Amino acid sequence: MVLAGAVRSTKGTVLVVGAVFFVVAFIGLIFNHLNSWDQPTRTNPESDGFSAPPANVVPGGAITPSTSNAPAPPPPPFGESAAALRNFYLKQLRKPSVKPDDERYHPWGAFNWSLPDNPRWKQRMGESLCIIDLDNRPFNESQQIFGPDAMTWDNALAVHGLSLGVLNHWIYAKIHGYKYYYVATEHYGDRRASWKKPPIMTKILKEHDVCLYIDSDAIFHRLDLPFEWLLNYWELYPESNSLALAFDPDNDWNKDRFGKVYLNTGFIVAQNNPTTYKILDTWQRCPDEGEPYPTCTEFRLNFPGQPTDQGGFGTFVRYNFSESIRELPCTEANGYPESDSGCKGQFIRHLWTGKHDQIKVDVGEQVPGPYLQMFHEQFKDEMDTFYMTERDLMSKGPKAATKKRPATKARKESGNGKSP
């Protein structure tokens, strides 16, 4: 009896303690939730945050992961099985769910998007399609993409939002077999580093058929959806199109001096054709003194409310090449639902004001639990196949500046590439 009573009261205590813990955790969750949404909803047209690197950074120098004072990295999760688990993810969990020209795309059976008639991209493009990341910030602190330790949800608070964007781009390329590049850019003496987009894209596009540039706070929201399908959906064909960009939300602060809403230059689809190079060259020279647009110099540097490369592109360049530039709907290729901006980011999400929190939710749902650490380990392991300095890119070209992975290892680990 005494024993039974003791057991019962212990159980009771456990229950009470459990209930109290639950209530405290629940309240904590609610407060966290309120905090994370207590953000300004104004969308900064150029919130990608290219910045001047700290003084000790060698421009365009290779990243050197720090070893000093860093906590000892945890052992890689799942050791030997990591490769098999990653393969399961890429080949099963997030495998391409439609063919490039399948008539309909029904993610989760809940949506129903269909292609226009006569889609012309019929084959998987493999490495003739490329995805470009570029930045002049080193991102080499703890829990950043080039940091000394692997990113892990065990330390979710410290995980760096923009680094998850970069990881998303690389994983998407891996799933579909596209070529991925990361370019560590130098900075311009007299203008913001984001003005590097046109010369870098020009150099890389020469060795591919189609290339995408995407900001680190933008992500491929539907990992299973092949980009060829989107090219068909948006009717982006090299004979009739050079660049495609999405509108920004329809707000006064997103308009150029003629009252037209800017195209966001954080996501750009470029076709390898002569007009594309003409546009990129004109855009690159836009903020130069004199030709081609004398007053474009005002877009060299950013200050609150002032876009730079986007301002020059939107105010001048697009009007001279309107027939070759496709304007994509904001809700399909810009914004995110929680932004309440009218732009839901149905295919491409751009988390302008959510790059510290909502991007973690979105990428966290794509790469949950140990998958974050497992893919980040692999990303760092394969860096020499995609990472290059601007100097190397400009002198050698993208393919020569990045090493090819030995065929056997690439097949075993990543299993990507062109369809047979």
Ligand X SMILES: *[C@@H]1O[C@H](CO)[C@@H](O)[C@H](O)[C@H]1NC(C)=O
Q: How far is the CB of 211 from ligand X (least distance, A)?
A: 23
CB 211 within 8 A of CB 244: no
CB 237 within 8 A of CB 192: no
Q: How far is the CB of 194 from ligand X (least distance, A)?
A: 20
Give, in degrees to the nearest 5, the angle at Cα 257 between 136 and 317.
55
Q: Which stretch binds ligand X (CB under 6 A): 26-34, 36-44, 137-145, 254-262?
A: 137-145
Q: Where are the alpha helices (DSSP H) in 177-219?
A: 197-205
**DSSP for 126-140, written as a single string:** GGGEEEEEEESS---
Q: Is 66 in the site for ligand X (CB under 6 A)?
A: yes
What are the tokens at 162?
């923009």
Q: What 3-state DSSP class applies to 349? A: strand
Q: Is 51 in the site for ligand X (CB under 6 A)?
A: no
Q: Is 92 in the site for ligand X (CB under 6 A)?
A: no
Choose between 286 and 351: whose C-beta lies nearer to ligand X: 286
Q: Is 47 in the site for ligand X (CB under 6 A)?
A: no
Which residue of 114, 240, 395, 419 would you call a contact of ligand X, by CB under 6 A? 114
Q: Which stretch binds ligand X (CB under 6 A): 136-144, 248-256, 266-274, 383-391?
A: 136-144
Count, residues near ligand X per rule CB under 6 A: 14
Distance CA 160, CA 112 (A): 34
Give me the half-sphere count of Cα atoms (radius 13 Å) on the Cβ side of residue 87. 12
Choose between 220 and 233: whose C-beta lies nearer to ligand X: 233
Distance CA 122, CA 100 (A): 6
Give residues 329-388 in contact with ligand X (rule: CB under 6 A). none
Which residue of 51, 57, 380, 410 would you call a contact of ligand X, by CB under 6 A? 57
| CA-CA-CA-CA torsion sign (411, 416, 417, 420) | positive
Q: Is 138 in the site for ligand X (CB under 6 A)?
A: yes
Choose between 210 and 263: whose C-beta lies nearer to ligand X: 263
The alpha carbon of 3 is separated from its chain's Cα centroid by a whole number of angstroms, namely 61
Return the closest-CA partner of residue 97 out of 109, 89, 105, 87: 105
Buried b (16+ CB within 10 A) or exposed e, 303-315: eeeebbbbbbbbb
In the bound complex, which residue of the shown chain has the CB atom lying closest to ligand X? 66
Return the number of other C-beta atoms located less than 10 Å from residue 358's C-beta. 22
Q: Is 322 in the site for ligand X (CB under 6 A)?
A: no
Choose between 166 and 218: whose C-beta lies nearer to ligand X: 166
Give residues 270-299 in contact with ligand X (rule: CB under 6 A). 282, 292
Tell me how long the chain is. 420
Q: Is 320 in the site for ligand X (CB under 6 A)?
A: yes
Q: Which stretch binds ligand X (CB under 6 A): 58-66, 77-85, 350-358, 361-369?
A: 58-66
Choose between 69 and 408: whose C-beta lies nearer to ligand X: 69
Q: Which stretch binds ligand X (CB under 6 A): 36-44, 59-67, 197-205, 376-384?
A: 59-67
Choose between 141 and 357: whose C-beta lies nearer to ligand X: 141
Q: Is 168 in the site for ligand X (CB under 6 A)?
A: no
Return the closest-CA partner of residue 418 out of 226, 233, 236, 168: 226
Distance CA 199, CA 284 (A): 7
| Contacts (Cβ under 8 Å, ≥6 apart) of 316 | 286, 292, 293, 296
Q: Which stretch binds ligand X (CB under 6 A): 24-32, 53-61, 344-352, 399-407?
A: 53-61
Q: Is 112 in the site for ligand X (CB under 6 A)?
A: yes
Return the closest-CA partner of residue 300 out of 153, 148, 157, 193: 193
Residues that bind ligand X (CB under 6 A): 56-57, 61, 63-64, 66, 112, 114, 138, 140-141, 282, 292, 320
